[in-house]
Amino acid sequence: MADDFMVLRAFYNSTVLTVFSIVVLVVVCSMAGFVLQRREGGELLRLSTS
C-alpha cells in the first residue's frame, strides 16, 4: 500500500516539474523573440522578412 502512494507522489512531482519547465521555457523564448523582432538592422531581420 505504501508503494501506491510513492507512485502517486512521483507522478505529482513529475507533473509539477514538467509544467514549471514549460512555463519557464515559454517565457524565456517569448522574451528572446521580442528582442530579436525589435532589433534594428540585424541579419536575422532580413532573413525573417524574405
Q: And the C-alpha cell for 29?
A: 523564448
* Model pTM score: 0.68
For residue 41, give the DSSP letter: S
12 near 4, Cβ under 8 Å? no
First to last CA, the chain: 61
Quote the pLDDT of residue 22.
98
For residue range 3-40, what is the model confidence (pLDDT) as tens digits?
A: 778 999 999 999 999 999 999 999 999 999 999 888 87
Q: Find the angle CA(39)-CA(48)-CA(34) to the nearest 5 degrees.
A: 40
Spatial CB neighbours of 48, under 8 Å, sequence gap ≥ 6: 37
